[in-house]
Homo-oligomer: A and B are copies of this chain.
Amino acid sequence: MIETPYLLFLGDAPDQLAAKVAVGIKDWRPENAVGQYRMDGCKADLGLKDMTLTEAKAAGAKTLVIGVANRGGVISQEWKKVLVMALEEGFDLASGLHNLLRDEPDLVAVAEATGRKLHDVRVPEVDYPIANGIKRRGKRCLAVGTDCSVGKMYTAMAMDAEMRKRGMKSTFRATGQTGILITGDGVPLDAVVADFMAGSIEWLTPDNDDDHWDLIEGQGSLFHVSYSGVTMALIHGGQPDALILSHEPTRAHMRGLPTYQLPTLETLRDTALALAKVANPDCQVVGVSVNTQHMSEEDATAYLAKIEADLGLPATDPFRFGSGKLVDALAAM
C-alpha cells in the first residue's frame, strides 16, 4: 500500500500525453494530489500548484509518484537528482515504469539509509493465496471486454465515482499499474504467477458490507488469446454479482492480433456469464459500456440505442454520457 497524498512528479515530460498517469490521479483522486513537481522544459501541466519538495512536504505529501513516462526506458541522471533529494526529504517513491526503482543501486542505497520505501507497482509485493472459491459477503462488479483496451478501467472508475456521489458504498479495486498508482493499492495482475491469479483477486476483494460494491478493474478479454487466462482468473477470483460488457465498435480486429475478429456483444455476454456463474450462480449481466470516441455524437447515440434494443440492457459511454445508467442497474439489484 502506497502512502497518500502524493506529490506528482512530471519531470521533463515532452507533452501532456506523457503524463497520463499523473492526469489519471488528478482526475480520479484529486484528494491524493497535493501538487505537481516540474523540471526545466516540462511540457505537461495538471493545473495543480507547482511545489518544491519542501513545500510539498509541508503540505502533507507522503509519496512522490512518477506520473510520467520516461524517455528511452531509463531513469535519467536529471530525474535521479530529484528522486534522491525526495528520499532525503522523507518522501517514499512510487513508479509504474518498466525500469524498476529497485534496480537502481543509488536509489536503493539512499532509500535504505533514509528508511524510505520504493514502490514498483508492476511487481507484486504480496504472497497471494491460491483461490479457495468461498463465497464472500458484499457485492462485486466486473467489466469484461470484447477486446483489450476498450475502456474497462475507465468504466469502473466512473461508476465508483458516481456511486460515491450518490452515497452508495463502493471501492474501485485496481488490477493494473495505472489504477494502483491512482488509488495507492491493488494487484498488478499481469505480473502475478499463474497459480495465484484468482487468489490475488479474492485477496483484493474480501468480505465486506452486504450493500458494499467492489468495482473490479477488468483486464484483457476472454477472446484475446494473449491474455484470456488473466481475464478468466478475474472472473473466477472476483465472483462478480454483476458484469458490464465493454466494447469499442470501430475496432477492425483484436488489438495486436490482425487475423482475429472481435466477438459480438451477444457472444461476449453468453460466454462470460456462463463462466461467471461457475463461481457465482446469481451473477447477472447488467449493462453495456461503449467507448464511442471515434464516433460522432449522433452515431454514438444511435449505436447505444440499438444496443439497448438488441440486448435489452442499459448502454452508455461513461466518458461521454456519464455512468448513471450502469449505476442505476447496480442500485436496482
Q: Which residues of A contact B (CB under 8 A)?
A: 71-72, 98, 129-135, 189-195, 197-199, 222-223, 225-233, 236-237, 254, 256-257, 259-260, 263, 271, 274-275, 278-279
**Looking at A222, A232, A259, which has the most chain B CB atoms within 10 Å of its CB?**
A232
User: Would you call B236 and A225 a contact (CB within 8 A)?
Assistant: yes
User: Would you call B226 and A130 a contact (CB within 8 A)?
Assistant: yes
* Bound complex: CA A129 to CA B94 (Å): 24
Please pick, from B129, B134, B189, B198, the residue contacting A228 in the complex, using a CB distance under 8 A: B198
* Bound complex: CA A228 to CA B229 (Å): 7
* Bound complex: CA A47 to CA B114 (Å): 60
Please pick, from B131, B135, B193, the residue contacting A193 in the complex, using a CB distance under 8 A: B193
CB-CB under 8 A from A256, the residues of chain B are: 132
A52 → chain B closest CB, angstroms: 34
How many copies of this chain?
Answer: 2
User: Would you call A229 and B230 a contact (CB within 8 A)?
Assistant: yes
User: Would you call A225 and B133 a contact (CB within 8 A)?
Assistant: yes
* Bound complex: CA A275 to CA B274 (Å): 12
CB-CB under 8 A from A254, the residues of chain B are: 133
Which partner residue on chain B sits nearest A223 by CB separation? B278
User: Would you call A275 and B279 a contact (CB within 8 A)?
Assistant: no
* Bound complex: CA A114 to CA B280 (Å): 52
A277 → chain B closest CB, angstroms: 10
Can you list the 4 inter-chain pairs with the closest CB atoms, starting with the nearest? A229-B233, A225-B236, A232-B232, A229-B229
A82 → chain B closest CB, angstroms: 25
